[in-house]
Amino acid sequence: MAAPTDSTDNLSSVKHVILILSGKGGVGKSTLATQLTLGLLKAGKKVGILDVDLCGPSIPKMLNLENRDVHMYPTGWLPVYIDDEKRLGVMSIAFLLDNKDEAVVWRGPRKTAMIRQFITDVCWQDVEYLIIDTPPGTSDEHIAVVESLKSYNPDGAILVTTPQDISVGDVRREATFCQKTGIPILGIIENMSGFVCPNCKECSNVFSKGGGEALARELGIPFLGCVPLDQHLSMSLEEGKNFITEHSDSPAVMALTSVVDRLIQIDKNL
Amino acid sequence: MDDIPSDAPTHCPGTQSEAAGKASACQGCPNQNICATQPKGPDPAIEEIRERLLSVRHKIVVLSGKGGVGKSTFSAHLAYGLAAANEDCQVGLLDTDICGPSIPRIMGAEGEQVHQSGSGWSPVYVSDNLAIMSIGFLLSSLSDAVIWRGPRKNGIIKQFLKDVDWGDLDYLIIDTPPGTSDEHLSIVQYLSAAEIDGAIIITTPQEVSLQDVRKEVAFCRKVDLPIIGIVENMSGFICPHCTTESQIFPPTTGGAEKMCSDLSLPFLGKLPLDPRIGKACDEGKSFLEEAPDSPAAKVFQAIMAVIQKRTEEEKMKEDFVQR
């Protein structure tokens, strides 16, 4: 596949680039990335979501876009759209694999090259918000994303954690990564904080509570809110449904909406 | 040995061959210079690692395509459980998650230091028969980020395997980061001569996690790593108040059990969510000792027994064949 000759303009038309990071895996980066994207979509924005998790891409499944193909345009790859009006575009390595169970067994340099291509060669057209979902850690993928984004002046990163100390410890390292690489931190979201039993309404702190907020205070970073565990949320992700519009009365949706409002607000202040 | 790249010129002698870079077919190949100058043959470290690990009876790798499903929690408790069950059983736990090491915290060994001696790095002992090694012991502060690319991560993993002085071990449990990339390839490659017993794959019940685990299974098959079995973690939550069970992470496609029967893999069991597990990990204590009568601890003991039985049977067969 030949790379387009003049590709530097693909991303410069995107107004806001937001990274979703976490040192820890399975804390809900992809979940929050999809939900924030859907939230921004609901607020009337044109959005894009780029999945740079090459070994475990989850975004296509969560948005019910499995088995879709990416098309090649003279200016680059055309993202997969969830709607006909093309208000939400998605790009993920999953669209490029023949078989969904195929493992992408790649070492760093190959992952770096793929990510550079994802950053420069996808024609997002006039997307207002581009959310970039990342794999866990502070390694090849992250260095590649941050280096390739440098010239595009990204808005910053949202750090996701679960409440336990173990996860907070990894996120603290991720904050150090942001400081070292000069990526502004927009704030911390605490995910999976508390589960309300559907039978007795008793709230259990399955993964303890308050770790995210304490870390935000310690590092002097804005705390963006707690998203509680909700069966409907995991169910919606499994079925690729829009949780935000289907369960609008859930406390999780309220928490997500307030984060979306914050994002729109932060950007106005810039 | 298929060391001939798919895009190589015809009659390529192979990158590992003595003639690499020197054969007539190599004329004009863009990689001629690399082939002619790079060292040939397998990494000499593989043989050193084999010798170092001769005193280790069982080597078990804990894997998962997905992050946050409980690999470190499982590895740590497998180590705790094996060491607690029999005080003569020597257990080692190696954390190869370089960017997010959680083992020191879970084992209550944060802030410990690794000492160097003539025979290598001494691991940190959390009890008489339980030793651990992690990059967490080499960092100066808890907020230190290890921002390393692949080759440097491979270097430290090689050192962990080659230079840690475990002594005689019955079990070496290797905890890995999520994915199918540098760390995983390196472990399998470096241990190719030392022989891994097999991999235990951890997943959560949802399809979102299972789809990553299928990739991990494909990885194991690609690199010829035997799969000891699959564990489903975070399977159902029992409300401590009213004892109603909720599927926080719903098994919409039948969960790990169904996947195992589809792929004909051994299924080891379902571990339920329990707030006390997370709490025990945060406090660096063994959940098996904190709540020995809980359903999760009982399931865990059963899974551990199966793992012990399987790995021991395989070893006996091997010993028999060698004799």
In this predicted model, what pLDDT tens digit does every residue of A24-54 receive, in sequence order? 999 999 999 999 999 999 999 999 999 999 9
ipTM of the complex: 0.89
Contacts of residue A238, Cβ cutoff 8 Å, sequence gap at least 6? B206, B207, B208, B250, B252, B253
Residues B34 and B166 in one domain: no
Taking residues B130-134, report their average pLDDT: 97
For residue B285, the distance in angstroms to the closest alpha carbon of chain A comes to 13
CATH number at residue B120: 3.40.50.300
Q: Do A135 and B208 touch (CB under 8 A)?
A: no
Residues B83 and B185 in one domain: yes
Best residue of B215, B217, B276 to probe chain A, by most A CBs closer than 10 Å: B215
Instruction: Give the sign of the dihedral formed by CA A57, CA A63, CA A68, CA A71.
Output: negative
Q: Do B282 and A135 touch (CB under 8 A)?
A: no
A30 is an annotated ligand-binding site residue: yes
Which chain A residues contact residue B253 at CB under 8 A? 238
Q: Do A56 and B219 touch (CB under 8 A)?
A: no
A26 is an annotated ligand-binding site residue: yes
- pLDDT tier at A6, thresholds 50, 70, 90: very low
- Looking at the structure of chain B, the number of domains it has is 2
Which chain B residues contact residue A168 at CB under 8 A? none
In this predicted model, what pLDDT tens digit does every residue of A190-211 receive, in sequence order? 999 999 888 888 889 999 889 9
**pLDDT given for residue A3 in this prediction:** 42
In this predicted model, what pLDDT tens digit does every residue of B256-309 receive, in sequence order? 999 999 999 999 999 999 999 999 999 999 999 999 999 999 999 999 999 999
B192 touches chain A (CB under 8 A): no
Give the whole-angstrom CA distance, residue A198 versus residue A235: 14
Residues B106 and B202 in one domain: yes
Q: What is the DSSP string of B288-321?
A: HHHSTTSHHHHHHHHHHHHHHHHHHHHHHHHHHH
Residues B112 and B253 in one domain: yes
Structure tokens of B249? 């992470």
Which chain A residues contact residue B143 at CB under 8 A? 172-173, 175-176
Residues B34 and B62 in one domain: no
Q: Do A205 and B275 touch (CB under 8 A)?
A: yes
Domain ranges of chain A: 9-269
Give the whole-angstrom CA distance, residue B204 versus residue B233: 5
Given a contact cutoff of 8 angstroms between Cβ atoms, the answer to whether B105 and B142 are in contact is no
Structure tokens of A205? 């702190």
Note every long-range contact of B27-31, with CB atoms under 8 Å and residues 24 or more positions apart, other chains counting: B31/B5
Best residue of B77, B141, B211, B222 to probe chain A, by most A CBs closer than 10 Å: B211
- pLDDT tier at B6, thresholds 50, 70, 90: confident
Q: Which CATH class is domain A9-269?
A: alpha beta
* Total length of chain A: 270
Residues B117 and B175 in one domain: yes
* Total length of chain B: 323
Over 80: is that where the pLDDT of A5 sits? no
Give the whole-angstrom CA distance, residue B211 versus residue A8: 34
Burial class (CB in 10 A: 0-12, 13-18, 19+), A265: exposed
Residues B168 and B191 in one domain: yes
Given a contact cutoff of 8 angstroms between Cβ atoms, the answer to whether A206 and B237 are in contact is yes
Q: Do B250 and A239 touch (CB under 8 A)?
A: no
| CA of residue B283 relative to chain centroid, distance | 23
Domain that holds residue B14: 1-41
Taking residues B173-190, report their average pLDDT: 94
Contacts of residue A78, Cβ cutoff 8 Å, sequence gap at least 6? A70, A71, A72, A122, A123
Residues B19 and B65 in one domain: no
Q: Do B145 and A198 touch (CB under 8 A)?
A: no
Which chain B residues contact residue A140 at CB under 8 A? 149-150, 181-182
**pLDDT given for residue A4 in this prediction:** 44
In this predicted model, what pLDDT tens digit does every residue of A66-75 receive, in sequence order? 999 999 888 8
Which chain A residues contact residue B239 at CB under 8 A? 197, 199-200, 202, 204
Residues B116 and B189 in one domain: yes
Q: Do B149 and A139 touch (CB under 8 A)?
A: yes
Residues B9 and B144 in one domain: no
Residues B22 and B65 in one domain: no
Residues B23 and B118 in one domain: no
CA distances from B314 to B58, B196, B304, B320, B321 (A): 10, 11, 16, 10, 11
